[in-house]
Amino acid sequence: GQQLNQSPQSMFIQEGEDVSMNCTSSSIFNTWLWYKQDPGEGPVLLIALYKAGELTSNGRLTAQFGITRKDSFLNISASIPSDVGIYFCAGQLPAGNNRKLIWGLGTSLAVNP
Amino acid sequence: KAGVTQTPRYLIKTRGQQVTLSCSPISGHRSVSWYQQTPGQGLQFLFEYFSETQRNKGNFPGRFSGRQFSNSRSEMNVSTLELGDSALYLCASSPGRLYLDTQYFGPGTRLTVL
């Protein structure tokens, strides 16, 4: 099926460092979503972006909807141990392409205390 | 509000068997979507049900089917299990009225096929 190109695949950082990850696609999206998944749980929505160029923050998390509508990035500032998990991007194609989300393969984040 | 619940949490089956997974959405949510999650393929969309009707479908074989009941609870069935069906099956619920509602995921059912 369709997928987004999400990078990096994994990251191992020191507590306190900033983190950046991104998703790109050859398709244009109307909406970008960022989710986090903890072990043994389902993904939890972190940030939703609805307009090209939109920059939205949620605590230490900041995400942007790319101007071309083909990419998005997520930044985490001053990482802490509980940031550990897998981060997924998901995009929704414009109307007429049905409602389903297209998902990236995830960025696995490990934080060294 | 109670979150999305999925039962069972873990399941072990053998090839050729069939399995039924259950999902109870958040109260008031009418849309239920099912996903298959594997390490190599990420989250793959199976299907979405809204008001007891399949509204959307992914690219899975006919062995994968689902249904939704009048109380919005949904079941997913996989017949003639194959080894490659081993995965985490996630259910997500949303109100379902808007083009894109926020999807709330359950904890998943871990299916292992031996």
Give average pLDDT by consecutive 10-residue segment, chain A, 113 residues. Answer: 85 96 93 92 92 95 96 97 95 71 92 92
In this complex, do A100 and B58 lie within 8 Å of one another by their Cβ atoms?
Answer: yes
Partners of A30 on chain B (C-beta within 8 Å) are 100
In this complex, do A99 and B99 lie within 8 Å of one another by their Cβ atoms?
Answer: yes
Separation between Cα atoms, residue A75 and residue B105, nearest integer Å: 23
Look at residue B103 in the predicted model and tell me its pLDDT. 86
How many angstroms away from the CA of A51 is the closest CA of chain B?
Answer: 13
Per-residue HEC secondary structure of B22-65 comes to EEECCCCCCEEEEEEEECCCEEEEEEEEECCEEEEECCCCCCEE
A106–B contact, CB cutoff 8 A: yes
Look at residue B99 in the predicted model and tell me its pLDDT. 58
Partners of B48 on chain A (C-beta within 8 Å) are 99-100
Look at residue A56 in the predicted model and tell me its pLDDT. 96
Q: How big is chain B, counted in residues?
A: 114
Using omega within 30 degrees of 0 as the cis cutoff, is the peptide bond preceding B8 cis? yes
Partners of B43 on chain A (C-beta within 8 Å) are 43, 88, 90, 103
The proportion of chain A whose per-residue pLDDT surpasses 70, expressed as a percent, equals: 93
Q: Which segments in chain B show pLDDT lower than 70?
A: 1, 98-101
> Average pLDDT of chain A?
91
B56–A contact, CB cutoff 8 A: yes
Look at residue A94 in the predicted model and tell me its pLDDT. 75
Look at residue B1 in the predicted model and tell me its pLDDT. 62
Instruction: Give the chain A residue whose CA is nearest to the CA of B32.
Output: A100
